[in-house]
Amino acid sequence: MSTHEPVTTDPHEQHDQPETEGEQLPGPGSSESVTAEMHQEPDHGEDSYRGTGKLKDRVALITGGDSGIGRAVALAFAREGADVVISFLEGEDEDGRRTAQLVEDAGRKAVVVPGDLTSEDFCQRLVDQTVEQFGRIDVLVNNAAYQMVQPQGLADLTTEQLDRVMKTNLYALFWMCRKVLPHMPRGGCIINTTSVQSSSPSPELLDYATTKAGIANFTRGLAQTVAGDGIRVNAVAPGPIWTPLIPATMPPEQVESFGRQTPLGRAGQPAEVAPAFVFLASAESSYITGEVLAVTGGMPVTI
């Protein structure tokens, strides 16, 4: 019998609460490397993720793949053996290149395609470039999203912001799914990023929460539509995860307390979300479709 004590980590202590110091960052698309400007960069799994070949030789297309959860998913997919196409907003090229380097360091091909997903024409070009490069798309991760906190809720919410949130979070997801499916073989999968906001909406994120609820419902409906084609559709619902989007879109006092309301008492890290995407992309989840997998530090997702 082994005399070694098992190695366990209290989930409260797996990662420290980020040190924010009232941090504020420029909005999405306005900086060459938002991640590098953070006081404490997120953990994307650079030093911890170990692949075991779960996605060997698959082709994955990830929107919003330059930073945060998207970067962690790209890294994990590459270390599991996938080639990765990374889409991100123009102006975030340095972050995109850093993510691509992580993929290439794992011995896989990386293709970066900057552009604006609120344009249906760009969504078409993104799919066309992926198919030209690899001939097919095995995994689509719809991860790109936009949010902007409005402290007064509906009273401060402009039509311009509503349009941007809806087009980034919902229209682009609809376009990407429709354009990718003709190029997705049996055994392929789509993974959408929804949120704990889908069932527990914050008034200051009313538009964002509305889109995230729509994504959960779209996921379940599309899963039924394409199940006969051998394609699975699932979603991951993150809770408060420490990414550049947080200090770029929230006021300092909310950034300071971000994630402390969870039962685990801290913000999560992108590295803690990426394994959920790997699971849903791999054969280990072959009997799962139309599901929403919550990664929230204990906050319930009930939609």
Nearest-5° Cα angle at 209, 203 to 215: 170
Residue whose structure tokens are 């019998």: 1
**249 close to 243: Cβ distance less than 8 angstroms:** no
**214 close to 158: Cβ distance less than 8 angstroms:** no
Tokens representing residue 271 in the block? 């590295």
| Helix 270-281 with 68-79: angle, nearest 10 deg | 50
Amino acid in position 29:
G
Tokens representing residue 136 in the block? 């097919």
**Cα-flanking dihedrals φ and ψ of residue 172, to 5°?**
-60, -40
Residue among 139, 129, 151 at smallest CA distance from 60: 139
- Residue 49 falls in the annotated catalytic set: no
**31 close to 56: Cβ distance less than 8 angstroms:** no
DSSP3 helix / strand / coil % (the chain, rounded to 5): 40, 15, 45
Length of the chain equals 303
- What is d(CA 35, CA 39) in angstroms, rounded to the nearest whole number? 9
* Active-site residue identified among 49, 146, 171, 208: 208
Nearest-5° Cα angle at 193, 111 to 54: 60
Please name the helix (run of DSSP H) or strand (run of DSSP E) that holds residue 122, with its range, or none. Answer: helix 120-134
Q: Please report, for residues 137, 140, 207, 300, the alpha-carbon distance to residue 165 in angstroms, rounded to integers and kept in the order given.
A: 26, 20, 7, 24
SS3 of residue 272 by DSSP: helix
Q: Which residues are catalytic?
A: 208
